[in-house]
Amino acid sequence: MKREVYKSLRTISHEEPLGPGGPLCAGCGGQLSLRLFHKALGENVIFVNGASCSTLLATYPFTPLNSSWIYTAMACAPAGAQGVRDALDILKRKNRLPPEKDRKVVVLTGDGAAQDIGLQSTMAAIHRGLDFYYLCYDNESYGNTGFQTSASTPYGARTSTEPITPRSPHGSVHGRRDLFEIWRVQKPPYLATISAAYPLDLSEKVYRASQHYGPKLFIAHSPCPPGWEIDPEWSVDIARAAVETGIWPLKEAIHGEVAHTHIPRKFEPVENYLNRQGRFRHLFEPQRDEETIAHIQNTVNEYWKSALGAPLLHPPPRAGEERGGALRSRRLFCSPLHAEEVSPRPNNEERTMENIFAFADELGPIKIIHLYDPKNRLKAVVVVDNIARGPSVGGIRMASDVSTEEAFRLARAMTMKNSAANLPHGGGKSVIFGDPKMDLAKKEQLIRAFARAIRDLIEYIPGPDMGTDERCMAWIHDEIGRAVGLPPEIGGIPLDEIGATGSGLRASVEAAMKYCTFDLKGARVVVQGFGSVGKHAARFLGEKGTVLVAASDSRGTIFNPKGIDVGRLIALKNSGKGVTDYANGERLDIDAVIDIDCEIWIPAARPDVIHKNNVHRLKTKLVPQGANIPFTAEAERILHEKGTLVIPDFIANAGGVICASVEYHGGTQSQAFQTIEEKIRANTDEVLANAKKSGTLPRQAAIEMAESRVRKAMQYSRA
């Protein structure tokens, strides 16, 4: 994970959210994590605390926190958070709470509540999509009641309810339950493990979570000096040893897709972590328990073997075994320190195949290809959906949180988009797992490796998308002679530079005016995602007399009801700054862009930014979708019932692929603009007219139009 905000310790806030003299134990790992977590969250926080050690932190009427605190029973903290969140939203709807003063709602519990009695309440909150943070400080026991065994207690540990006896000399034999995986299966927007020993990793994850709406869940490794029988001064060292031995993986999951954010360069043996803790002393005194130590070590080895897709290059030795010795292979569906073996479960390959075929229908996809090149650190997915109308065209998206499902949905959108635009192409898409802001030399190496991997996939023509550009396409073209969106120096039409997609959005808006109740001149515009699409859409619409009142990017939102100078804002973005660096406007949170009144609201960022839980906040009359699948189906239905007109993505934002097709077939830039104007105007008018006539959603009318063209083409094709 490349850190965007927290690049050095100096970037962590010096404001102290926790006052001195708190009643928690000296060296408490939970309090260390909470302090850093609160620093990264900033002000305006409401904590909902489930009964745990941390309940002692705020004992009425005293609290060391500079935030609000609500105490609940162990089982129901997320339910309490729902009530707080609902109350805040009601105040916002009544204009009694300005969006910029909204509060972040945080559930704070120990692992006992998270893993056991409070699990049901948390799973329900995740299922509802509650917009909240959840911080579980995991001290691997019921610490405040005498250090009893919890579902987080690791294999081999001694607790007050699992003492060391002649009949039970090995400590806990149950192994910890994998809370990360239990939560991950519901695909919350953000989930991460953290450690106070890695403050930059922790702080960056809080920032990354803040970019998402919905449940944001954290599990903090939290050494407990009295329960673990360690010196309070050792807490951070013990926490660091847990990570460097591989026992506590630092990772995140965005919508269910897992990435490890720290991989030790040289894994230490697990006994470097175990032998400093009194709860594991029986493994070393009066004699070494080789079997239990080896079991713990092997479990860690197996986890990382699975996580990295191959055996560790330098796996830590088992107790009594020299480095380089053979490791016994045993399939474990678990995380470090899990004891149970569950071989009846399907293996990773079987689960992957099940997920792939879940996407299939009568239109496609004809191919889903997973690419892995460990030498070049390439992990990618290519989806070729349908080629009945011709070879598939689709962009390459690079991000750390992409997924196979996202690639398929985007490929299907390209099938619909190319068909709706009546282009001689099918739909495809590829995603590369990686940070698009990585070092340029590393990015070139990665892109060229991807190009070589798809050399023989002749039915797929790659183009630029989020995280890639014309330079990337030039590298691909140099490798395999097949790409669109090339630099003009080698025959391309620079679609991002000229604003092909933004031009198409303008055309769709103009075509939609006869179905709207407002005039284009003077219409207020809000752009969510002021990037290569959003900035040109604002520019082209501004030429028609609209007024940009708000824009957002990954750093925040800028708002000025009197209007924003589009040219100045574009220049600011082109210089590498963010929209909140614009001087003449109010700086708001990223999410505040949803709440701003306007006539035209343009989503131009990621999928699913508007969904059932936030669609009620949108106050606009027309939505030309600049991003691909930016709204969920339910959100579009709700807006349709409210009378808001939504122009579907594959109709409104087809300018880029139309330009790419013109380039691929040898056309010029002027021909591209003319074709974009003609096709998008005609398609928008046809779709909206059919939707009005049939009483259906515009998306349904668009799908019917596009699918009918694909099905007719399929009659003449074997594909």
Average pLDDT (263-277) is 91
Helix, strand, coil percent values for the chain (each to nearest 5): 40, 15, 40
Comparison of pLDDT for 314 and 711, the residue scoring more: 711
Query: From CA 331, how far away is CA 334, in angstroms rounded?
Result: 9
Kindly tell me the sign of the dihedral angle through the C-alpha atoms of 709, 713, 714, 719: negative
What is the model's pTM? 0.51
Q: Does position 322 have pLDDT exceeding 60, yes or no?
A: no
Looking at residue 342, what is its pLDDT?
Answer: 29
Could you tell me which residues come within 8 angstroms of residue 295 by beta carbon, excluding any fewer than 6 positions away? 155, 156, 339
Q: What is the mean pLDDT of residues 2-6?
A: 77
The residues, any chain, with a CB within 8 Å of residue 582's CB and separated by 6 or more, are 558, 564, 568, 569, 572
Q: Looking at the predicted structure, is the pLDDT value of residue 545 above 90?
A: yes
For residue 717, pLDDT beyond 80? no
Q: How far is CA 395 from CA 431, 589, 653, in A?
A: 8, 30, 13
Res 598 pLDDT > 70: yes
Instruction: Determine the angle formed by the axes of helices 404-420 and 655-664, rounding to 10 degrees.
Output: 70
- In angstroms, the CA 622 to CA 541 distance is 13
pLDDT of residue 670: 92
Cβ atoms of residues 528 and 554 within 8 Å: no
Beta-carbon-side half-sphere exposure of residue 320 (alpha carbons within 13 Å): 9
On the 0-12 / 13-18 / 19+ scale of CB atoms within 10 A, 522 is exposed
Q: How far apart are CA 652 and CA 700, in angstroms?
A: 14
pLDDT of residue 356: 55
| pLDDT band at residue 286 under the 50/70/90 scheme | confident
Q: What percent of the chain has pLDDT over 90?
A: 66
Residue 380 burial class via C-beta count within 10 angstroms: exposed 0-12, middle 13-18, buried 19 and up: buried
CA end-to-end span of the chain: 40
Given a cut of 70, whether residue 84 has pLDDT beyond it is yes
pLDDT band at 1 (very low <50, low <70, confident <90, very high): low
Residue 117 burial (10 A CB sphere; 0-12, 13-18, 19+): middle
Task: Name the pLDDT band for 348 (thresholds 50, 70, 90).
Answer: very low
**pLDDT by residue (tens digit) across 60-80?**
777 788 889 999 999 999 999
Which residues have a catalytic role annotated?
429
Model pLDDT for residues 388-442, shown as the tens digit of each residue? 999 999 999 999 888 888 899 889 989 988 999 999 999 999 999 999 989 999 9
User: What does each C-alpha distance from 147 to 140, 152, 158, 163, 169 come to in angstroms?
Assistant: 9, 12, 9, 11, 18
pLDDT of residue 179: 95
pLDDT at 391: 94
Model confidence band, residue 718 (pLDDT cutoffs 50, 70, 90): low
Q: What angle do CA 688, 690, 696 make, to 5 degrees?
A: 85
pLDDT band at 309 (very low <50, low <70, confident <90, very high): low
Cα–Cα distance measured from residue 520 to residue 525, given in angstroms and rounded to the nearest whole number: 10
> How confident is the model over 155-176, as a mean pLDDT?
88
H or E stretch including 700? Answer: helix 698-714
Res. 588 pLDDT band, cuts 50 70 90: very high
Q: Residue 587's CB: how many other CB atoms inside 10 A?
A: 16
Is the pLDDT at 323 greater than 60? The verdict is no
Q: Which residues contact 596 (CB under 8 A, 6 or more apart)?
A: 526, 549, 550, 557, 559, 619
Alpha-helical segments (H) within 309-429? 348-357, 404-420
Residue 494 · residue 659 · CB < 8 Å: no
- Tell me the pLDDT tens digit for each residue of 105-124: 999 999 988 998 899 999 99
* CA–CA gap between residue 577 and residue 584 (Å, rounded): 15
Angle between helices 119-128 and 77-93 (to 10 degrees): 30
The Cα 142–Cα 224 span in angstroms is 11
Rg (CA), the chain: 27
* pLDDT at residue 426, rounded to an integer: 94
- Average pLDDT over the chain, rounded to whole? 88
599-654 tens-digit pLDDT: 999 999 888 899 988 999 999 999 999 998 899 888 999 999 999 999 999 899 99
In this predicted structure, what is the pLDDT of residue 444? 96
In this predicted structure, what is the pLDDT of residue 330? 26
Cα 682 to Cα 205, 422, 570, 602, 690: the distances in Å are 45, 11, 30, 20, 12
Q: Can you list the domains of the chain with their CATH numbers?
A: 9-277 (3.40.50.970), 354-492 (3.40.50.10860), 500-714 (3.40.50.720)
Place of tokens 């040893």: 241
Residue 352, pLDDT score: 45
> What would the pLDDT profile of 200-257 be if each residue is shown by its tens digit?
999 999 999 998 999 999 999 999 999 999 998 899 999 999 999 999 999 999 999 8
Task: Let me know: does 650 contact 413? Beta carbons within 8 Å.
Answer: yes
The predicted model gives 369-393 an average pLDDT of 93
Helix axis angle, 235-244 relative to 29-41, nearest 10°? 80
Q: Is 481's pLDDT higher than 90?
A: yes
How far is C-alpha 541 from the geometric centre of its chain's CA atoms?
Answer: 31
Cβ neighbours for 201, distance < 8 A, ≥ 6 positions apart: 1, 3, 194, 195, 250, 261, 262
Give the closest residue to 453 by CA, choosing from 562, 532, 378.
378
Instruction: Give 134 or 485, the one with higher predicted confidence.
Output: 134
pLDDT tens digits for range 334-346: 333 332 222 333 3
Looking at residue 299, its pLDDT comes to 92
Position 371 confidence tier, pLDDT thresholds 50, 70, 90: very high
pLDDT in tens, 610-619: 998 899 999 9
